[in-house]
Amino acid sequence: RDLPTSSRSLEDFLQRVAEEMKSTRPVNPEDATRSVFKVIARHVDLGQSAKVRDALPKQIRSLWPESVGV
């Protein structure tokens, strides 16, 4: 099982997303991340999704949808 990483930069984070998705069809890792964050923001309780968002480093948090779960 993979352990969590302490990636703090957006570039490192997106690189890790790309690595984890390399066995799927080609997808832009930033678009994929934005989509996942949008699903979390829309379908997880507002308080819980805010905790997820607030736990992210600032650069990564910038991908969170502004109008949802803020």
Write down the residue that tokens 């992210």 correspond to. 56
pLDDT at 37: 96
List the chain pLDDT tens, one digit each, 70 residues: 566 666 679 999 999 999 999 999 999 999 999 999 999 999 999 999 999 999 999 999 999 998 655 5
Instruction: Return d(Cα 64, Cα 14) in angstroms, integer.
Output: 14
Amino acid at residue number 37: F
Cα distances (Å, whole numbers) of residue 41 to 21, 34, 67: 21, 10, 9
Asked if 19 contacts 4 with a C-beta cutoff of 8 angstroms, the reply is no
Instruction: Return d(Cα 41, Cα 68) in angstroms, integer.
Output: 6
